[in-house]
Amino acid sequence: MVKKKRPLILLSNDDGVNARGLHTLIEIIKPYGDIVVVAPEKGESGKSHAITLNMPVRVRKISESENVTIYSCSGTPVDSVKLAINKLLPRKPDFLVSGINHGSNASISVIYSGTMGAAIEGCLNGIPSIGFSVLDHSENADFSIAKAYAGSIFQNVMENDLPVGTCLNVNFPVIPLNKVKGVRVCRQTRGVWKEEYERRVDPHKGEYFWLTGDFHNFEPDAKDTDEWALANNYIAVVPIHVDLTSYEGIKKLRDWTYECKI
Amino acid sequence: MVKKKRPLILLSNDDGVNARGLHTLIEIIKPYGDIVVVAPEKGESGKSHAITLNMPVRVRKISESENVTIYSCSGTPVDSVKLAINKLLPRKPDFLVSGINHGSNASISVIYSGTMGAAIEGCLNGIPSIGFSVLDHSENADFSIAKAYAGSIFQNVMENDLPVGTCLNVNFPVIPLNKVKGVRVCRQTRGVWKEEYERRVDPHKGEYFWLTGDFHNFEPDAKDTDEWALANNYIAVVPIHVDLTSYEGIKKLRDWTYECKI
């Protein structure tokens, strides 16, 4: 009888290698396989799918125990995943899990999120990938619901195939565990962040701006969206793909005519 | 008779405020309206949809002439667009044009691209937006084809409405102008960048890695893709949207069952 190889599971995040959300994730996922963490050495929130091109990237092994090895990377979440796959891991990982992010990545936040950048990079490389987030931005976010459900969601990904080119964006509400109504598969809510830059003046009279903002939901009543699910005590699971083509747009644009102006 | 207001057109890019591609774009677009440029002060290639959260952002007015005002921004392309809309412009711009990027943003490069990050940010804010790129990464890229066709593509966007939530990813081949077969509306090619990190050792014996890589086209024979169009002497126009939901994935995931493990 051939002993089945334990799965190799790559973990990353965007809050950095020391974030509580990442260490909670390690505890949740380590029963399922051998864990290698490659995560940014510092917070990289809002880094989206950014890669580091004009600087080199450095890696440091932080710790190694029986089935958990942890590296930090000087780059972005996507750099971390690329380096893991190409330089640090003995083979292509069987799964990638990113998070647990401190703060929501529902609706349009998915495109700003470094946590989801890492998951999408895994997906692009053919690795079944999940990004987990809780709707609490604080360092001391409550991960009770994630602890209760993330393992089961991961097991689903292990046992069932994700559709090709698809990864999961999973957001947990912040409510008492016994109020959770279940897991709801939904679509990305249409919405936008409306910014209000806060202007300040430094001691040398130079002005600078801090980014702040509020999320505007364009469809608060649509019950098939992730924002609705979260507001109604569900865990929201959105399957995400990386084909940005607007197929409706293709039909419309075919009627346009173009001329060479030289 | 009321004189029709000249359009207000926001320009940005990811190669930085001094890039030739941006100054070529200014020349192409300025006949159509009043131009305000807000672009990163230095190269920000590969910054995707990244925003700056843990640092403030600074802005500097570089120059102001009759209908072209140029600002630099210390942040990313998306920061530049957010600051323009929220702090620098007298009103919401009528159009946003990003580029001209030195290098291809076809296929999956669209998700790494800061040029397209800026265009997508415009689109999210309800502004008809285009990103232009040429398939030549060098500082001295040849913009002849862009000069001949970008104005006509922009005019189409001015005169016809883009579908809601859609922007354009336009890539120009690098061939002699008289070989161009026309403009082709296409979909994003499925493909991936395969990385080969180059390992080096610094004078203090610390190792570091430079990101390099090759693009792998998963569907080289598909004639409806942007890579095929470019390889066959067409200008490739891909309508891009920001709903990452995999609707096929939703159907499949609804069969999964989840359990609370506490």
Instruction: Express each pLDDT in A83-138 by its tens digit.
Output: 999 999 999 999 999 999 999 999 999 999 999 999 999 999 999 999 999 999 99
Provide the sign of the torsion angle of the four alpha carbons B35, B108, A215, B168, taken in this order.
positive
pLDDT, position A164: 87
* Tens-digit pLDDT profile for residues B201-248: 999 999 999 999 999 999 999 999 999 999 999 999 999 999 999 999
Tokens 């459900």 locate to A149
Per-residue exposure over B45-58, b if at least 16 CB sit within 10 Å of its own CB, e if not: bbbbbbbbeeebbb
Q: Is A247 in the B-facing interface, judged by CB distances under 8 Å?
A: yes
Per-residue exposure over B86-114, b if at least 16 CB sit within 10 Å of its own CB, e if not: bbbeeeebbbbbbbbbbbbbbbbbbbbbb
Q: What's the number of CA atoms in the CB half-sphere (13 Å) around residue B242?
A: 29
Contacts of A45 in chain B (CB under 8 A): 53-54
Of B56, B257, B260, the CB nearest to A148: B260
pLDDT, position A195: 83
Q: Is B48 in the A-facing interface, judged by CB distances under 8 Å?
A: yes
pLDDT of A220 higher than 80: yes
pLDDT, position A239: 97
Of A58, A59, A152, the CB nearest to B258: A152
Of B247, B248, B258, the CB nearest to A149: B258
What is the rounded average pLDDT for all residues in chain B? 95
User: What single letter denotes the amino acid at residue A191?
Assistant: G
φ and ψ at B36, to 5 degrees? -120, 125
Q: Whole-model pTM above 0.90?
A: yes
**DSSP alpha helices (H): ranges in A86-126?**
114-124
- Give the residue, B262 or B245, on which the prediction is more confident: B245
* A223: CB partners within 8 A, 6+ apart: none
φ and ψ at B180, to 5 degrees? -65, 125
Domain ranges of chain B: 8-187+222-253
pLDDT, position A90: 95
Q: pLDDT band for position B3 (50/70/90)?
A: low
pLDDT, position B236: 98
Distance between A3 CA and the closest CA of chain B, angstroms: 27
Instruction: Mark which residues 60-99 of B lie under 8 Å from A by CB.
Output: 76, 78-79, 82-83, 85-87
Q: pLDDT band for position A258 (50/70/90)?
A: confident
> What CATH number matches the domain at B8-187+222-253, 3.10.105.10, 3.40.50.1100, 3.40.1210.10, 3.40.50.150?
3.40.1210.10
Provide the sign of the torsion angle of the four alpha carbons A168, B122, B28, B18, taken in this order.
negative
pLDDT of B5 higher than 90: no
pLDDT of A262 higher than 90: no
Cβ(B217)–Cβ(B227) under 8 Å?
A: yes
Question: Which superfamily does A8-188+221-253 belong to?
Answer: Survival protein SurE-like phosphatase/nucleotidase (3.40.1210.10)
Contact A177 B241 (CB under 8 A): no
Q: pLDDT band for position A261 (50/70/90)?
A: confident
Q: pLDDT band for position B262 (50/70/90)?
A: confident
User: Which of A147, A157, A187, A171 is closest to A235 using CA atoms?
Assistant: A171
Contact B262 A148 (CB under 8 A): yes
Contact A111 B58 (CB under 8 A): no
pLDDT of B141 higher than 60: yes
Instruction: Mark which residues 150-169 of A lie under 8 Å from B by CB.
Output: 151-153, 156, 160, 162-163, 165-166, 168-169
pLDDT of A63 higher than 90: yes
Q: In this predicted structure, which of A9-18, A77-86, B122-131, B194-203 has the lowest mean pLDDT?
A: B194-203
Q: Where are the beta strands (DSSP E) in chain A?
A: 8-12, 34-40, 59-64, 68-73, 95-102, 129-134, 166-172, 182-185, 191-195, 198-201, 207-210, 213-217, 234-241
Q: pLDDT band for position A255 (50/70/90)?
A: confident
pLDDT, position B133: 98
Q: Report ipTM (2 d.p.).
A: 0.93
